[in-house]
Structure 1
Amino acid sequence: MSSTIKGIVAYPITPFDRDTGAFDPKTLHTLLDSMISSGVDAIAPLGSTGESAYLDDAEWESVAWETVDYVDRRVPTVVGVSDLTTAGALRRASIAADAGADAMMILPTSYWHLGEQEIREHVSAVADSVDIPTMIYNNPATTGIDMSPEFLVDLVSTVDGITMIKESTGDITRMNRINELSGGTIPFFNGSNPLALQSFSAGASGWCTAAPCLAPEQVVHFWRLLESGDRSGAGAVFDKIEPLLKVLVSRGLPSTVKAGLEFLGVDAGLPRRPLLPLDDNTRTALSDALSVARGVIVAS
């Protein structure tokens, strides 16, 4: 299996009706149209931003089908299939494949600490269960499970279904090490917003980010400048969007992104409890950073 996914991989939130708390597909459509028309390279529902961990099985399935169906192959879709149990992740992988996802992403997560053999057997079973490529995702800040560059590269090298890596520790040396170990042959994606500029210098194939929910044209503009070799121009754009990127990760992404959308006139509802809406100070910082980021002039 192979994948041609690269560039800006946009992570939508899962919108909820503010009054009932139910999944709101209409607002999801609005968000997807905005990101796709702005030029993002892929859509990745049901990650941390999409509150996957807080959805019941029926909700998760609805979001997966709705997203893939509405995107309708305008860009590739990468569906997050992580679950606490292997059986649950296998079920989600099957749904993602049946829905028509182009790829899936798995983040090992567990109540008990998992050893490398447990991680290997868990992700291998899921990746090999369907015929779409898998992105293995490392995010110890949310899971408490940290996979080394050596282990991640070995997984890609030995498990046919795993073809990509998402590295989200915020440590640029990890990305350099992945690139070194694989000789530049394994696609890896940066999942740490503040490292977006550095990660592409380290050889990253793309940037997995929720920022396009709020400033899609500016994020895409940054990537296109880099892709064209204009690092100076990309750096100037990054300086303008960096404050927004930092505020976004200062709290849980569902809380910050949904507050940002509210500033833009899009009601995506409240983050699911126990997550809480932003405090006043963070809302002010977010509003200021969002104004600066969206003030970047994007050439037509």
Structure 2
Amino acid sequence: MKLSGIIGYPVTPFSHDNKSVDLGKLGQVIDILLEAKVGAIAALGSAGEAAYLSESEWKQVAEYTVKYVNGKVPVVIGVAELTTAQAINYTRYAYEIGASMIMLSPFSYYKLSEQEIYSHYEAVSNATPLPIMIYNNPATCGVDMSPEFMLKMVDGIQNASMIKESSGDIQRMHKIYKLSNGKVPFFNGCNHMALEALNAGASGWCTAAPCLIGDRPKQLFEAVKEGKSEQAKALFYQQYEFLEFIVTSGLAAAVKSGLELQGNGIGDPRKPLQPLGRAERKRLQGLLTEFV
């Protein structure tokens, strides 16, 4: 599967008492992303609070997202589990419901060796025909995979076909491009590095930003691809402070507060996560006025 452009991340709405998923409001979030002209939708990532969902909730969100999108764009399902058995369970479910691919992260309590990580990916690949996006997100998952190792997995594991790099080190992206001769698609997972990453050859940008600022990320992507460097730079710096803010203040909390400020309230993040405080909300409101 060829994937490119903006990969939009929906947040997961909860009921008023925070005890269940609100699928109706999830549909509203998906509509916002589709209106922002994203190239794909990636459910159950960090912004979607996947780590805070029960198995039944996780499956509800995955199935609803695939059905609601209804083939308009590809649907990527995030899988980040401590055990290989549970990762296989979720991956098989993603295939059963018609997902387009999975985005697989190794999640660590004990420090994992490269052999353990490789075996984890290989076992998941053997359990499904779905393409796998290798996701390196050391800050969240506790595992940091080198470009050389991820490319080794792409070369040796049948369904591992692309990489999402979120370490925050632009040199990793240059290495992926150089070592693969530009043949392995890679995606930017760091909002504040979007311009550098796209200029480094990234096939796309994975972000929750379109939930709040519409198609501005897509405009940036297209400006880079069309060689309009000055326009791309202007678009990026228009978004930069906002992109930095939503990451440093917590994606789920920031996006949910932003949606509420825009009249699309979908509830708070799940505890122990907290909604933005008064000062942060005021700061976010000021940032959002720049996009009106």
TM range (shorter): over 0.9
Residue 244 of structure 1 is matched in structure 2 by 242
Residue 153 of structure 1 is matched in structure 2 by 151
Residue 49 of structure 1 is matched in structure 2 by 47
The alpha carbon displacement at 1:263 in A equals 0.7
Aligned residues: 292
Counterpart AA for 1:56:
S
The 3-state SS of whatever aligns with 2:106 is coil
Contact 1:81 1:96 in 2 (8 A): no
Q: Distance between the aligned counterparts of 1:152 and 1:209, measured in 2?
A: 21
Cα-to-partner distance string for 1:118-144 (whole Å, 9 max, x where unaligned): 111111111231111000100111122
Q: Supply the RMSD in Å over aligned alpha carbons.
A: 1.1
The 3-state SS of whatever aligns with 2:80 is coil
Q: Distance between the aligned counterparts of 1:272 and 1:34, measured in 2?
A: 21
Cα-to-partner distance string for 1:147-184 (whole Å, 9 max, x where unaligned): 01111111111111100100001110010011111010
Residue 174 of structure 2 is matched in structure 1 by 176
Counterpart AA for 2:267:
G
Residue 142 of structure 1 is matched in structure 2 by 140
Q: Distance between the aligned counterparts of 2:125 and 2:233, measured in 1?
A: 37
Counterparts of 1:93-242 in structure 2, within 5 Å, are: 93-242=91-240
Residue 82 of structure 1 is matched in structure 2 by 80
The alpha carbon displacement at 1:16 in A equals 0.8
The alpha carbon displacement at 1:285 in A equals 1.9
Q: Distance between the aligned counterparts of 2:47 and 2:126, measured in 1?
A: 26
| TM-score (normalised: structure 2) | 0.97
Residue 298 of structure 1 is matched in structure 2 by none
Q: Distance between the aligned counterparts of 1:188 and 1:20, measured in 2?
A: 35
The 3-state SS of whatever aligns with 2:265 is coil
What 5-or-longer segments of structure 2 have no aligned partner? none
Cα-to-partner distance string for 1:226-250 (whole Å, 9 max, x where unaligned): 2222221121111111111000101
Q: Distance between the aligned counterparts of 1:120 and 1:132, measured in 2?
A: 17
What 5-or-longer segments of structure 1 have no aligned partner? 296-300
Q: Distance between the aligned counterparts of 2:261 and 2:4, measured in 1?
A: 30
Residue 270 of structure 1 is matched in structure 2 by 268
Contact 2:208 2:255 in 1 (8 A): yes
The 3-state SS of whatever aligns with 1:16 is coil
Q: Which moved more, 1:210-219 or 1:280-289?
A: 280-289
Counterpart AA for 1:34:
I
Q: Percent identity?
A: 45
The alpha carbon displacement at 1:252 in A equals 2.1
Residue 33 of structure 2 is matched in structure 1 by 35
Q: Distance between the aligned counterparts of 1:20 and 1:191, measured in 2?
A: 28
Q: Distance between the aligned counterparts of 1:38 and 1:144, measured in 2?
A: 32
Contact 2:18 2:268 in 1 (8 A): no
Q: Distance between the aligned counterparts of 1:160 and 1:102, measured in 2?
A: 16
Q: Distance between the aligned counterparts of 2:125 and 2:191, measured in 1?
A: 26
The alpha carbon displacement at 1:225 in A equals 2.1
